Structure 1
Amino acid sequence: MIAAMTPEQRQELEALGVRVQFPARHVIFMEGQPSRSVLILQEGNVAVMQEAEDGSEVLLAVRGPGELMGDEGALTGEPRSATVKAVSSVVGLDVKAEDLVQLVDKYHLWPQMYRSAILRRRESDDERASLTRLDVTHRFARMLLGLVMEAGKEVNGRWEIDVALSQQDLASRVGASREAVALVLRNLRKQGLVATGRQEITVLDLDGLRILASTSQ
């Protein structure tokens, strides 16, 4: 929704916020809790997660600077629909839900809010659909491309994914076991597509990864 605001509207929204900082791994929002505020991300990255039926956490997305977190619940009055956890040091602006609602009312931004919510739900539905029609390798390749777009930094032709995610986090994102993801990463390294370190992934061949992600099973 924040992308649809004019610079003046965004400046007014930011003026309503209080600067906050969170260390890595800190839970900023908890699924099911009341939606009393939103967070404008300024520095760092967060993971958006939901609890699965078996009690495990499923990674839905990674978000970075410029994103508005928690707006759907704040605007509808519904509880948090997901947990938001810092995956690096995070700096942002905390804005009260009622202040956001007043701003949306003032500038008649409800249509943009609904479009934003629909788009996010559609992306979530598309990702769930891919879990049923694609094998683990292709699901992982698509997820990795998404991470490049969300949190990638180009350094000398390589794309460093500036997010500290464990293999278990990555496995939950693609609906696979940690062992299956470890095997996929091993194969991608052999193909020269990625390099990995402790909770680090660098995409060495972005075009090659795109080709892999676009092919069928």
Structure 2
Amino acid sequence: MSEPVPEILRKSMLLSGLSEANRAHVLKDALRRSYGAGETVFLQGEPARAVFIVLSGAVKLVRMTPSGAEAVVAIIGRGRSFAEAMVLRRTPYPVTAEAITACTLLQIDGTRLRQFLVENPEFAIDLLASTFVHLQGLVEQVEKLKAHSGVQRLAEFLAGLAEAEAGGCAVELPYSKRLIAGHLGMQPESLSRAFAKLRESGVESEGNRVLIADLEALRAVAAGER
């Protein structure tokens, strides 16, 4: 990567703790890759040879179950990285990565990254912390799937899209309702019922646009207070 390091990379969890010189070393042979919506970044079972950082757009990580169903493991947005653990362990990718929208990714060579870790123990500790944060996020996701109803999960998801702190607002769904359903651990028909239930709390869905009458009321639903 010969051009100046974008600000989004300076702030990414993977690289934010590095000095300018070390960051440049890690990114020396990094490549920008563009993908169209629906394009595959890598397939489940392929050797893990690179780590990726999302520069724009979004990527979903999915795992195919023995029955052939697709389970959405995570949705990776701008500034986040993925595939670190597999590259460090030199194991195959346990998931398939697919572009949700048109996106640009930075691809970092796994061999260079491992070599840098050996030479820089402090960076290894930072990367371990990054991996722990990701694992903690997955644990919280599983907890929500078990402890929260579908309506609560949807309410929290919608509230998280809002830029306002209170009052009414409109939000745009970042991807299809089918994918949102998978991300929330629901069937599409269950998501439709959850949207219908949220009408009682002032939420109206018009295609990919959602009107929220009262954010505080929506957050109360997410917390199980209503």
Is the counterpart of residue 139 in structure 1 residue 153 in structure 2? yes
Residue 38 of structure 1 aligns to a residue in which SS?
Answer: strand
Contact kept? 1:31, 1:81, Cα under 8 Å:
yes
What amino acid sits opposite 1:5 in the alignment?
G
In 1, the alpha carbon distance for the partners of 2:23 and 2:159 equals 29
Contact kept? 2:54, 2:79, Cα under 8 Å:
yes
Equivalence for 1:186: 196
Which among 79, 102, 110 is matched to residue 115 of structure 2? 102
Which among 51, 55, 71 is matched to residue 84 of structure 2? 71
Which among 161, 164, 180 is matched to residue 175 of structure 2? 164
Is the counterpart of residue 117 in structure 1 residue 128 in structure 2? no
What's the C-alpha RMSD, in Å, of the aligned pairs? Answer: 2.8
Is the counterpart of residue 14 in structure 1 residue 14 in structure 2? no
In 1, the alpha carbon distance for the partners of 2:149 and 2:80 equals 30
Closer, same or farther: CA 153–64 of 1 in aligned 2, 3 Å: farther
- Residue 97 of structure 1 deviates from its aligned partner by 0.8
How many aligned positions are there? 209
What amino acid sits opposite 1:83 in the alignment?
T
Which segment drifts farther, 131-140 or 187-196? 187-196
Closer, same or farther: CA 46–77 of 1 in aligned 2, 3 Å: same
Closer, same or farther: CA 51–25 of 1 in aligned 2, 3 Å: same
Residue 27 of structure 2 aligns to a residue in which SS?
Answer: helix
Query: Which runs of no fewer than 5 residues in structure 2 stay unpaired?
Result: 1-12
Residue 37 of structure 2 aligns to a residue in which SS?
Answer: coil
In 1, the alpha carbon distance for the partners of 2:54 and 2:17 equals 15
What amino acid sits opposite 1:88 in the alignment?
T
Contact kept? 1:138, 1:216, Cα under 8 Å:
no
In 1, the alpha carbon distance for the partners of 2:132 and 2:95 equals 16
Residue 2 of structure 1 aligns to a residue in which SS?
Answer: coil
What amino acid sits opposite 1:70 in the alignment?
A
Contact kept? 2:57, 2:103, Cα under 8 Å:
yes
Q: Indicate the percent of aligned positions where both proteins have the same amino acid.
A: 21
Residue 112 of structure 2 aligns to a residue in which SS?
Answer: helix
- Spell out, residue by residue over 1:187-208, the C-alpha distance to the aligned partner (whole angstroms, 9 max, x if none): 33453335341xx254634433
Residue 176 of structure 1 aligns to a residue in which SS?
Answer: coil
- Spell out, residue by residue over 1:121-168, the C-alpha distance to the aligned partner (whole angstroms, 9 max, x if none): 22212222322222211122234455x3xxx767xx746446222x33
- Residue 42 of structure 1 deviates from its aligned partner by 1.0
Which among 171, 174, 194 is matched to residue 184 of structure 2? 174
Which among 91, 97, 109 is matched to residue 84 of structure 1? 97
Which segment drifts farther, 129-138 or 3-12? 3-12
- Residue 14 of structure 1 deviates from its aligned partner by 3.2
Q: What TM-score, normalized to structure 1? A: 0.81
Which segment drifts farther, 96-105 or 6-15? 6-15
